[in-house]
Structure 1
Amino acid sequence: MKIQKDFREALLQARATSDYSYLTELLPYARKIGMSCQSLGDDALFVLPENRDNTGNPVLPALHGGVLGGFMEMSAAIHLMLFMDEPKIPKIVDFSIDYLRSAKIQDVFAECDVVRQGSRIANVAITAWQSRRETPVATARAHFRLDSL
């Protein structure tokens, strides 16, 4: 229960201050890959910084697809937590990703769009890009079950 209380407090603090680092520091995978989240008006921009440890193919070199997918899934979950009316913990039900081109070993950005949110299920679309938003490296769809905090 202490973890849920800490998480709820971090979520409420992040919402109140628009400093989303509270959440990314509390989530172990987000912390491991170094992702961050920035307030962008009434929205959020997720950033996966350049890190050679995330290399999947050293010959190209290219970002590991699993790291990119994990980053996009984590972005969608955090996005839901930040922008739902009532704070809930999203639990992944289904995740489908389309890799559109190789992601270079450089910063990756992601934005999320809640396609539909009900009382128990949410559907989120995620787009990830590097140098130009118009040229995504991957797109994904995620379905989450929403549990009360």
Structure 2
Amino acid sequence: MIALPPYAATLGARLERDEAGAPLLVLPFGEPVLGRPGFLHGGAIAGLLEVAAIAALAHVLEADGGGRIKPINVTVDYQRGGRDRVTYAAGVVTRLGNRIANVEATAWQDDRAKPIAAARLNYLIER
């Protein structure tokens, strides 16, 4: 079972699985993630993307013998405002080396093909 960082609980995000069994983060809209009226706070979106990336990497590492991770850097690209509805996020490990992992995460609301934000994250892996 994947353990999410405590920040996921602060956001109110929960972990589910997509059709293929990969981790999928679900973030309900509410007071803890409110930015300007009717919109998600940008920091909440960035945090959701980071949690989705951690879940994706933990899922892949779990199948590969495990390991601890430490973030190196995060780059977030905001593409449109997150509105007052449920937001989803998922990560994909694009490279898993012996010491470094690269992960891409995407957040969307109504349509996965129309993301509200995307992130590229790099992690140091200790196996």
User: TM-score, normalised on structure 2?
Assistant: 0.90
Of all paired residues, the percent bearing the same amino acid is 33
Higher relative contact order (CA 8 A, sep 6+): 2
Cα offset, 1:101, TM superposition: 0.3
SS at match of 1:75: helix
- Alignment equivalent of 2:14, drawn from 33, 36, 46: 36
2:88 is the alignment partner of 1:109: yes
Residue 52 of structure 1 and its aligned partner are, at CA, apart by 2.3
Q: Take 2:32 and 2:89, find their aligned partners in 1: how far apart are those partners?
A: 20
Q: What residue in structure 1 maps to residue 57 of structure 2?
A: 80
The residue that corresponds to 1:98 in the other structure is 77
Is 1:137 matched with 2:104? no
Q: How many residues align?
A: 124
Q: Give the aligned partner of residue 126 of structure 1.
A: 105
Q: Which moved more, 1:68-77 or 1:39-48?
A: 39-48
Q: Secondary structure at the match of 2:71?
A: strand
Distance of 1:89 and 1:107 partners within structure 2: 30
CA distance in 2, matches of 1:36, 1:89: 21
Q: Which residue of 2 aligns with 1:10?
A: none
- Tell me, in whole angstroms, the C-alpha distance in 1 between the residues paired with 2:6 and 2:32: 16
Deviation at 1:34, TM superposition (A): 1.3
Point out the structure with max Rg over C-alpha: 1
Q: Paired residue for 2:48? A: 71
Equivalent position SS for 2:54: helix
Amino acid in the other structure paired with 2:16: Q
What's the TM-score once normalised by structure 1's chain length?
A: 0.78
Identify the structure with the greater helix proportion. 1
Report the aligned-residue RMSD.
1.3
Spell out structure 1 runs of 4+ moving beyond 3 A.
none
Write the letter of the residue equivalent to 1:38: E
- What amino acid sits opposite 1:67 in the alignment? A
Deviation at 1:28, TM superposition (A): 1.4
Q: State the Cα deviation string for residues 45-82 of structure 1 (Å, max 9, x = none).
A: 11111212211112xx2100011101101110121112
